Amino acid sequence: MKKQAGNPSRKHLVWFRQDLRLTDNKALAAACEDKDATVYALFTAPLSQWEEHGVSERQVAFMHRHLEKLSEGLERIGIPLVCHVCGNFDDAARFVIDFCRREQIDDVFFNNQYELNEQRRDRWLEDNLPQETSLNRYDDCLLLPPGAANNRQGEMYRVFTPFKRTFLEKLGSADTGSLPQPERRLHVTRIKGSSSPFFPYEKVSFGAEYTPGEEAAIALLENFCREKVHDYDKTRDRPDLDGTSRVSAYLAIGVLSPRQCLNALLAEVPDAIWQSKGGGAVWLNELVWREFYYHLIAAFPRLCRYEPFLEWTDRIVWNANEADFRAWVEGRTGYPIVDAAMRELKETGWMHNRLRMIVASFLVKDLLVDWRKGERYFMSQLIDGNLPANNGGWQWSASTGVDAMPWFRIFNPVTQGQKFDPAGHYVRRWLPELKDVPEGDIHTPQLWAKKNHVVLDYPDPVVDHRQAREKTLNAFNAVRQKAGGNDRPDSGRQGGWQ
């Protein structure tokens, strides 16, 4: 039913999803361009879908607090936010349609998501919206939309380095400016159902170091770019140093946009896009890895179904011993750098990028456990859980994905610890039972204890790394030879996990 003559103002609905911010939000900005329009905001919380996808409770709680901040911000500019708790994506799409009919919405605005189920949801919505309601979609969560950096044949790159080269060429001429917050509306309205709390996770802890709200996120980003980014190339691999940005949790739910990250970087390092070295260029490289993984799942939706990109790796016979997996989860493998990282993850929901690679390599290459078990566990714990980056990182470490680490490259957990936590400061922070082990022995405490007749409250290694390495090489090589596997060259260090 269309509005009667004499009431020309249109009704706009902004459907928030993974973009919980007022600043630099393309869908919100477009909905607010018509100053005479009445604008509503909606967020749907599909709790059973999140549970099925393994989204961590701490990330949902983090989202909840940001929605409270978003609601306050929207109210200040005259836009009511309705938060609807539902079961799955289908329920969410049906509610949007019902809302449009009930409130006689003329235009729906939202920012695209690229995961498989989310794409199906949005296609269904587009097909079933009332005829009198128009749909406006925007590419917002990436610097460049999927397909914008394809090869000359119009196909998605399967190797990171040429993707990055093409991506940066396109990025240099793209419009990546950040949009301001919308001004207060001329027509302010109220609507039933816009009160908080939005869903039952408000009491779940997500860590005092993560302050909710856009202002806190922007301050964290700008402080990193001002104080730390210049040394990022030197400090990024050291978990014992505070050298990373820690903005991944805000990026994952869209409290920050990638354009804001890029612009904050360019404000401090104007030539970062064209540089090949230096902290600014290296941090930009992490943003490009994030883009790479998003572009991959858009081009190859089967990656969203826990399928390896290299099909021959799906025939590897994995270790089904639950005790080995539980030792990894609980941080009692007997390898200090692995155990410290896993305990930090369990307690805080975050893990340093270098440590993510180390613990993933250990699970797959030392314990020969299916990488998908690790991927799911990470998602169940991470405050910055993100399907494209998490899947991409795990498939890289497991040597099952696009441009992954070669199957024959296996991290040694002892030497990795010695290299990236040389004094053991990080290990002691999370393994207090090793506080008395000397600096030079911190990554092999069992040898020190045996030599000095000391009883440690710390387990022996669950596997011998050298023997485990040979077992894994044999397992991969046997399947690869039978399948005629042809591995692509390694492009270098993996990124994009934070």
Q: Is the pLDDT reported for residue 5 higher than 70?
A: no
- Categorize the per-residue pLDDT at 7 as very low, low, confident or very high, splitting at 50, 70 and 90: very low
Tell me the mean pLDDT in the region 93-114.
97
Report the b/e string of 262-275 with b at 16+ CB within 10 A. bbbbbebbeebbee
Tokens at 201, concatenated: 């996770």
What pLDDT is attached to residue 191? 76
The answer to whether residue 201 is domain-embedded is no
- 187 or 438, which is more confident: 438
Q: Is the pLDDT reported for residue 387 higher than 50?
A: yes
- On whether both 164 and 117 belong to a single domain, the answer is no
Mean pLDDT, rounded, of the chain:
93
- On whether both 461 and 352 belong to a single domain, the answer is yes
What pLDDT is attached to residue 336? 98
CATH number of the CATH domain containing 159: 1.25.40.80
- DSSP conformation class of 145: -
Cβ proximity of 39 and 148 under 8 Å: no
pLDDT tens string 355-376: 999 999 999 999 999 999 999 9
- Categorize the per-residue pLDDT at 3 as very low, low, confident or very high, splitting at 50, 70 and 90: very low
Q: Which domain holds residue 223?
A: 142-179+214-299
Tokens at 480, concatenated: 């690869």
d(Cα 407, Cα 409) in Å, to the nearest integer?
6
- Categorize the per-residue pLDDT at 185 as very low, low, confident or very high, splitting at 50, 70 and 90: very high
The answer to whether residue 305 is domain-embedded is no
Last residue of one domain, picked from the residues 299, 324, 343: 299
The answer to whether residue 110 is domain-embedded is yes
CATH number of the CATH domain containing 29: 3.40.50.620
Confidence (pTM): 0.94
Q: Is the pLDDT reported for residue 433 higher than 90?
A: yes
d(Cα 194, Cα 315) in Å, to the nearest integer?
50
CATH number of the CATH domain containing 436: 1.10.579.10
Angle between helices 279-299 and 387-398 (to 10 degrees): 100
Cβ partners under 8 Å of residue 234, min gap 6: 243, 279
- On whether both 270 and 353 belong to a single domain, the answer is no
- On whether both 257 and 282 belong to a single domain, the answer is yes
Secondary structure of residue 229 in the 3-state scheme: helix
Pick from 22, 27, 19, 136: which is nearest to 75 by CA?
A: 22
For the chain, first and last CA: distance in Å?
A: 47
- On whether both 363 and 381 belong to a single domain, the answer is yes
- On whether both 262 and 278 belong to a single domain, the answer is yes
The answer to whether residue 489 is domain-embedded is no
Q: Is the pLDDT reported for residue 177 higher than 70?
A: yes
The answer to whether residue 496 is domain-embedded is no
- On whether both 276 and 332 belong to a single domain, the answer is no
- On whether both 122 and 32 belong to a single domain, the answer is yes
Last residue of one domain, picked from the residues 139, 169, 191: 139
Last residue of one domain, picked from the residues 250, 275, 299: 299
Q: Is the pLDDT reported for residue 56 higher than 80?
A: yes
Number of domains comprising the chain: 3
d(Cα 495, Cα 498) in Å, to the nearest integer?
8
The answer to whether residue 34 is domain-embedded is yes
Q: Is the pLDDT reported for residue 492 higher than 90?
A: no
Angle between helices 353-361 and 413-420 (to 10 degrees): 170
Show the DSSP H helices in 399-461 as ranges.
Answer: 413-420, 425-430, 445-451
- On whether both 219 and 365 belong to a single domain, the answer is no
Neighbours of 154 (CB within 10 A): 7
pLDDT tens string 400-426: 999 888 889 999 999 999 999 999 999
- Using DSSP bridges, classify how beta strands 11-16 and 38-46 pair: parallel, antiparallel or unpaired: parallel
Q: Which residue carries 């169940």 as its tokens?
A: 380
The answer to whether residue 207 is domain-embedded is no
Tokens at 370, concatenated: 């299916």
Tokens at 359, concatenated: 């613990």
Share of the chain above pLDDT 90, in %: 88
d(Cα 461, Cα 332) in Å, to the nearest integer?
8
- On whether both 280 and 170 belong to a single domain, the answer is yes
Pick from 179, 219, 176: which is nearest to 25 by CA?
A: 179
CA distances in angstroms from 465 to 184, 318, 361, 411, 472, listed in the order given: 61, 17, 12, 9, 10
Tell me the mean pLDDT in the region 146-164.
96
CA distances in angstroms from 276 to 51, 53, 142, 490, listed in the order given: 41, 37, 22, 18
pLDDT tens string 224-270: 999 999 999 999 999 999 999 999 999 999 999 999 999 999 999 99
d(Cα 71, Cα 222) in Å, to the nearest integer?
24
CA 37 from chain centre, in angstroms, equals 35
How many CA atoms, within 13 angstroms, populate the side-chain half-sphere of residue 35? 3
Which sequence positions are flagged as catalytic? Answer: 286, 289, 318, 353, 371, 394
- On whether both 135 and 170 belong to a single domain, the answer is no
- On whether both 272 and 398 belong to a single domain, the answer is no
Tokens at 339, concatenated: 């155990």
Tokens at 495, concatenated: 């990124």
pLDDT tens string 76-102: 999 999 999 999 999 999 999 999 999
Q: What is the side-by-side order of every strand in the sheet holding 11-16?
A: 81-86, 38-46, 11-16, 107-111, 134-138
| Binding site as annotated, residues for FAD | 232, 244-248, 283, 286-293
**Position 22, amino acid:** L
Q: Is the pLDDT reported for residue 385 higher than 70?
A: yes
Q: Is the pLDDT reported for residue 174 higher than 70?
A: yes
